[in-house]
Amino acid sequence: MTLTGKNAIITGSTSGIGLAIARTLAQQGCNIMLNGMGEKSMIDGLVSEFPKTYNNKTVYSGADMSKPAEIKQMVTDCAAQLGSIDILVNNAGIQFTAPTEEFPDDKWDAIIAINLSASFHSTKAAIPIMRKQNFGRIINIASVHGLVASTHKAAYVAAKHGIVGLTKVVALETAETNITVNAICPAWVHTPLVQKQIEDKAKEQNISIEEATAKLLGEKQPNKRFVKPENIAALIIFLCGENGNAMTGEILTIDGGWTAQ
């Protein structure tokens, strides 16, 4: 199965993992709806760049992933502007770390909303369209923290465990259709979210950024190398293609040996 002409939404796709996924899907012939934050000039640049580079159609939704009505409208707009929604990649996420007893209520609410509830709302809106066209691929970007825990990440770990559960439920509900639903659980990827944790660790322990990076990787990830966004994107291409059509409800790790311990 070729992905040429398929239409994909990738949330949180104006930078980092999401942008790498959007570029890889576009390289495979997909039309793209980008979503995420950033300066208007940067976003306009991406919307202009993609068609020139990949010979596809690219549009943008500024939907706020904490607002269900905007998420539903994003899905509706994708179907209207691109013609369908064939691939949904739920990638948007935020992070905050603190001991549970000190964790701000508003940070908890925001992380649950964007890292978990947003995926529910986008999936809920996309499934009727996918059922009608008898095709759909939903990929949720969870985390190794959807399978194991770390201290000071109550909201993030709870949200990512929730994504794993949501993936399984929707996979079962769509199992007899040509819709598949899977989750990918990466370990450390060198994104702005992770860079912030490295900088915080360096400041707390009065060590260099290089030392903090080595400590971050060494504490959890046996191969001591960051996962590349392109690794995640390549797995998504497989899941969207013909050879991935029997895989649904799968929770796939790319974690450098983290969960093997």
156 is a catalytic site residue: yes
SS (H, E, C) the chain: CCCCCCEEEECCCCCHHHHHHHHHHHHCCCEEEEECCCCHHHHHHHHHHHHHHHCCCEEEECCCCCCHHHHHHHHHHHHHHHCCCCEEEECCCCCCCCCHHHCCHHHHHHHHHHHHHHHHHHHHHHHHHHHHHCCEEEEEECCHHHCCCCCCCHHHHHHHHHHHHHHHHHHHHCCCCCEEEEEEEECCECCHHHHHHHHHHHHHHCCCHHHHHHHHHHHHCCCCCCECHHHHHHHHHHHHCHHHCCCCCCEEEECCCHHHC
Tokens of 76: 């509706």
The residue from 54, 156, 188, 226 that is catalytic is 156
What does each C-alpha distance from 227 to 27, 124, 161 come to in angstroms?
21, 30, 20
Among all chains, which residue has been given the structure tokens 């450390």?
Answer: 188
Tokens of 1: 């199965």
Distance of alpha carbon 103 from alpha carbon 118, whole angstroms:
21
CB atoms within 10 A of CB 37: 13
Please list the active-site residues. Answer: 156
